[in-house]
Amino acid sequence: MKNSGILRIGFKLLVNDKGKFFALLIGITFAVFLMMQMTALFAGILNRAYASVTNIGASMWIMDPGVNTAASPIPLPNYVEDAVRSIDGVSFAVPIFVGGAMVKLTDGRYQAVNVVGLDDDSLFGRPELEQGDIQDIYADNAFIVVDDADFVKLRNPKLGATFELNNHHVKIVGIARVISNGLNGVPTLYTTYSRAIQYIPQMHFTLSYLLVQPKNAAAVPGIKRSVAKLGYLALTKDEFNRGIADYYIYKTGVGTNILLMTIISFIVGLAISGQTFYTFIIENLDKFGALKAIGAKGRKLIYMILSMAALTSLTGYGLGILLVTVVISGVRYVSPYYAATITFWNLGLAFGMVLLIAAISGYIGVRKVLKIEPFDIFRG
């Protein structure tokens, strides 16, 4: 008996029992949907957590070792800037300010904002402008606003709109777009470094981070060692992003909660599919016994059962991905604050779990089928 023949028999056995077949599909689809939804939400949160690092795009960041996230800098003393610039292998190093403030809108309401102060000379890390001229940032009281999901909280300002920030006049001279939205749900303003530290009260030190461009990749380890001797930390963009991700995964409740929900989703899918597949095998034992009686070897039956489990699991996987894609797209259309995003990591994790569900479900069926004897079937 050829493998194609045994597969056709298994397929007909599976789809002819429509109740069991759809129960298997629904269970696996629901499990994939929950696993993808949870992991996509976590991926979206992480993506927004290091939005500042992504949007600014610096190759290396110099910071205090106590920094956990880009939005919570620990100010550096000013001498660090000169010391880093003198390190062999540094092409250039520029300061950047990252801080929070409250702006008073024209209707009298207050709104929290993130303020990014760019190096006055180079404007390194500046966003791409949709409207306005970047040179206008040097005008009096000039700020650039980011047009993202939180833009509406500033009442959708136009060029020339004015606010009040700590009793200082603020004028919007540019509207920009960035790669990633922020996590904290507050609008972002860009201005020059000197204006930022003038408008926003600070502690003794005003330098949030140093942005460094190494001369080449080989210079990175030496820069890290030299900065460490100063008592500070130098990280590449990817290392900083991983550090932020580790903070949210291991030092907040976000990672634990997402992991727990993902495990629960896996258990639900495994329980439903495993129980349903076992019931399907029990109800079709006579047919498997008949196949044994006409010469089907045990390995062919194993191949058939595993193929049935794989077909059901992969179909449920595809339906689950389709469902979660539709839901995420729909919610994003309704609410721009929704952070969930589908990545290859999400897809790979869900695919691995579905294969595990298929393997366990198939193993349950295989054990039962291999124990049956044709004599017992025909005697019954």
pLDDT in tens, 263-278: 887 787 777 777 777 7
Q: In the predicted model, is pLDDT for residue 1 greater than 50?
A: no
Q: Is 231 helix (H, G, I), strand (E, B) or coil?
A: coil
Q: Quick one: three-class SS letters along the chain? A: CCHHHHHHHHHHHHHHCHHHHHHHHHHHHHHHHHHHHHHHHHHHHHHHHCHHHHHHCCCEEEECCCCCCCCCCCCECCHHHHHHHCCCCEEEEEEEEEEEEEEECCCCCEEEEEEEEECCCCCCCCCEEEEECHHHHHCCCEEEEECCCCHHHHCCCCCCCEEEECCEEEEEEEEEECCCCCCCCCCEEEEEHHHHHHHCCCCCCCECEEEEEECCHHHHHHHHHHHHHCCCEEEEHHHHHHHHHHHHHHCCHHHHHHHHHHHHHHHHHHHHHHHHHHHHHHHCHHHHHHHHHCCCCHHHHHHHHHHHHHHHHHHHHHHHHHHHHHHHHHHHHHCCCCCCCCCHHHHHHHHHHHHHHHHHHHHHHHHHHHHCCHHHHHHC
Please state which of the ranges 44-58, 98-112, 301-315 shows the lowest mean pLDDT: 301-315
Tens-digit pLDDT profile for residues 33-67: 888 888 888 888 888 888 888 889 899 999 999 99
pLDDT in tens, 190-227: 999 999 999 987 777 889 999 999 999 999 999 999 99
In terms of pTM, does the model score above 0.75? Answer: yes
Q: State the average pLDDT over residues 109-132.
A: 92
Show me where the domains of the chain are located: 3-48+253-379, 77-231
Residue % of the chain over a pLDDT of 70? 91
Give the rounded percent of residues in the chain with a pLDDT score beyond 90: 35
What's the pLDDT score for residue 375? 59
Residue 4 pLDDT: 65
Least confident of 256-260, 279-283, 333-337, 373-377: 373-377
For 221, other C-beta atoms within 10 Å of its C-beta total 12
For range 170-181, the mean pLDDT: 90
